[in-house]
Amino acid sequence: MLGHLVDVYLDAHADDGPRYTAERYEQQLAAHMPRQGWTVVTASIGDGLVGYIYGFPLDADTRWWEGIEGPVPDGFTEENGRRTFGVAELLVRRAWQRRGIARALHDELLSDRREERATLLVRPDNAAAQHAYDSWGWQMAGRLRPTRHDAPLFDVRTKSIVPSIA
């Protein structure tokens, strides 16, 4: 499945510059997939993967918040493995965008989460994603520049999750 995930990533980011490489993304997936609670939801048309979303709960020793800029409320970055679900990627092939697939993936992934909130990072210049996250109830929480070399600046978004009652 790894090759299919990378193919969708490269297609979705085809116009986003040289930072979006198969090698870098394979490294990201190798770091994310083994995490406790890693979850992926996929969308396929026929035999072809057209999109997916994945994430994982943030552990107490998470590096997710490293590089956060500006004031955030006391305790905002404190994690325990049950407080926050980090949405790491939401990707849809360019030919299948703007058809409701991203929203369906998003809703499915978050529908049975048990964490208090979810978070994600989105580039400030990604107007389509920013608009979608606004309409899906995500709130701006600040800015973050990951500590890795040449990392871009991201907007930090959060969304409260209402756990389903079992």
Q: pLDDT tens digits for 19-52?
A: 889 999 999 999 999 999 999 999 999 989 999 9
Spatial distance between the Cα atoms of 55 and 105, rounded to a whole number of angstroms: 12
pLDDT recorded at residue 163: 60
Question: For the whole prediction, is pTM greater than 0.85?
Answer: yes
| Inter-CA distances, 96 with 15, 57, 105, Å | 15, 28, 13
pLDDT recorded at residue 152: 86
- What tens digit of pLDDT does each residue of 101-128 get? 999 999 999 999 999 999 999 999 999 9
Per-domain residue ranges of the chain = 2-160
Could you tell me the two tokens for 142?
A: 């600040």
How many residues are listed for the chain in this entry?
A: 166
Spatial distance between the Cα atoms of 35 and 138, rounded to a whole number of angstroms: 24
pLDDT recorded at residue 165: 53
H helices of the chain, in order, are 2-12, 22-32, 101-110, 127-135
Residue 59's contacts (CB-CB under 8 Å, 6 or more residues apart) are 35, 36, 79, 81
Specify which residues 84 forms β-bridges with.
Answer: 117
CB–CB of 50/43 below 8 Å? yes
Give the right CATH number for 2-160 from 3.40.50.720, 2.60.120.10, 3.40.630.30, 3.30.70.1020: 3.40.630.30
Spatial distance between the Cα atoms of 40 and 90, rounded to a whole number of angstroms: 10
| Inter-CA distances, 113 with 37, 121, 140, Å | 10, 18, 21
